[in-house]
Structure 1
Amino acid sequence: MSTGMIVLTVIVAVVIIAAATAPILRGRGRYGGPRLKRRFGPEYERTVALYDGDTTAAERELAERVERHGDLRERPLDPAGPEHYAARWTAVQEHFVQSPRQAVAEADRLLADLAAARGYPDGGRYDEQFAALSVHHADHVDGYRQVHRVARAGARDGLTEAGSGTEEMRTALVGARALFDDLTHPSREHGRHRATHASHSKGS
């Protein structure tokens, strides 16, 4: 390969890489640092921990979430929706007494269905649905993460119905209730984020 061809290949590669990373860099510039901390709250710290303290990598992921899902507008539930989902949650709690493992699996499906009904990605794409939820319900989304993790672990490993397994499932279920309430009571949701968005607009 001639020197000219090598130089041309390098230039093309640089252009492709720049085009691929530009949206991410724009997102980090728009949402990075203190703004991401304010928006994601405890989810910011969890993501940094997931990346072993690498703040740059964590902020890159969080900025990507905002770029993909920040413009999502939640759909209202049907008039009978809140009552329907409340009945399903009550059934989850009742089933927990006899079968914690089944109850957690039901809670996982319930949250996935409820989020989809509110306009989030389908529950069959958990990672994408979770990412979108984390943008708009950052304070409470970890409850869904715990329920999903425990439900999958129970299906895979057959957690016992007693001892530490049951306590872990109980903790997951309690943590998930906050997100359930956010999604079924629109008047209570997004208070912190609306204020954050307003302050961002004034600062722009």
Structure 2
Amino acid sequence: MTLVILVAALGAMAALVFAPAVRQSGRGGLMNRFGPEYDRAVSRHNGDEKAAQWELSERVRHYGDLPIQRLSPEAREQYAARWAGLQEHFVDAPAHAVREADRLLGELAVERGYGSGSHEEQMDAISVRHAYVVDAYRQLHLMAARTRGDGDGQVDTERMREVLVSARVLFEELVRAQPHDKGPRRRHPSLRPVLPQQNRGGHRSGRIPGQRLGPAR
């Protein structure tokens, strides 16, 4: 009798320990954690949700416990200044600004601890904590590749501006987030028109410098 009670107690303890992991790897947990990345994975697997769930569960297993590195205040200010600088030069050289933003985000991701392997592996690692905004980085990388292949005049400037504005959201999260921010960021901040535009007469509407990033949250 005592042995039966002991086994039952151990079973209950195991259920408590593993329940969060089961919930996290189930359909609802993965949809909540990955948001748009879940839909993207399903689409990539031609609608096979089981395959998509396996892929995303593997991401969590491989990258969920990455030792994310803290940025020093000096590093944070330097990154912020570099991003503000490329925004300042967007009107004069939009394609160059997009390529610089792509390079800057890559450097920042490596310094935070998201790996220096292939770009796709880095995206997967980032998506575990920043799933709701990681696609902006993916689009920025694709746009940067297009500007290298087609030249500055072959890519729509307004589309480049939109991509850069969206990518800034991930940039701010990577700069501000600290190692104790373990959970995925689910709230998508409103996108601000931080880049200058041209009016119909071809004149600049005035440059808007990048805002200084506040203290780490």
For the aligned pair, the TM-score class normalised by the smaller chain equals 0.7 to 0.9
**Residues 110 and 167 of structure 1, relative CA distance in 2, 3 Å threshold:** same
Give the superposed CA RMSD: 2.6
**Residues 87 and 98 of structure 1, relative CA distance in 2, 3 Å threshold:** same
* Secondary structure of the structure 2 residue equivalent to 1:53: coil
**Residues 32 and 131 of structure 1, relative CA distance in 2, 3 Å threshold:** same
Identity %: 47
Report whether the alignment pairs 1:140 with 2:138.
Answer: no
**Residues 91 and 194 of structure 1, relative CA distance in 2, 3 Å threshold:** closer
* Secondary structure of the structure 1 residue equivalent to 2:89: helix
The number of residue pairs the alignment matches comes to 166
User: Which residue of 2 is the match for residue 18 of structure 1?
Assistant: none
- Indicate which of 34, 58, 64 corresponds to 2:58: 64
Given residue 53 of structure 2, which amino acid in structure 1 is its aligned partner? Answer: E
Q: Which runs of 4+ in 1 moved over 4 A?
A: 27-30, 187-192
Measure how far apart 1:60 and its partner are. 2.0
Deviations along 1:111-142, one digit per CA (max 9) or x if unpaired, are: 000111111101x5211111100011111111
Where relative contact order (Cα < 8 A, 6+ residues apart) is larger, the structure is 2
Map 1:157-196 to 2 at 5 A: 157-158=150-151, 160=153, 165-186=156-177, 190=181, 193=184
Distance 1:84 1:175 in 2: 20
Distance 1:145 1:194 in 2: 17
Measure how far apart 1:160 and its partner are. 2.0
Given residue 148 of structure 1, which amino acid in structure 2 is its aligned partner? Answer: H
Q: Which runs of 5+ in 1 are unaligned?
A: 1-26, 196-204
User: Which residue of 2 is the match for residue 101 of structure 1?
Assistant: 95
2:70–2:112 CA contact under 8 A, matched in 1: yes
**Residues 99 and 192 of structure 1, relative CA distance in 2, 3 Å threshold:** same
Report whether the alignment pairs 1:126 with 2:119.
Answer: yes
Deviations along 1:159-180, one digit per CA (max 9) or x if unpaired, are: 526xx62122111101101111
> What TM-score does the superposition give when structure 1 sets the normalisation length?
0.73
1:142–1:175 CA contact under 8 A, matched in 2: no
> What TM-score does the superposition give when structure 2 sets the normalisation length?
0.69
* Secondary structure of the structure 2 residue equivalent to 1:97: coil
Distance 1:189 1:95 in 2: 35
Measure how far apart 1:79 and its partner are. 2.7
2:69–2:178 CA contact under 8 A, matched in 1: no
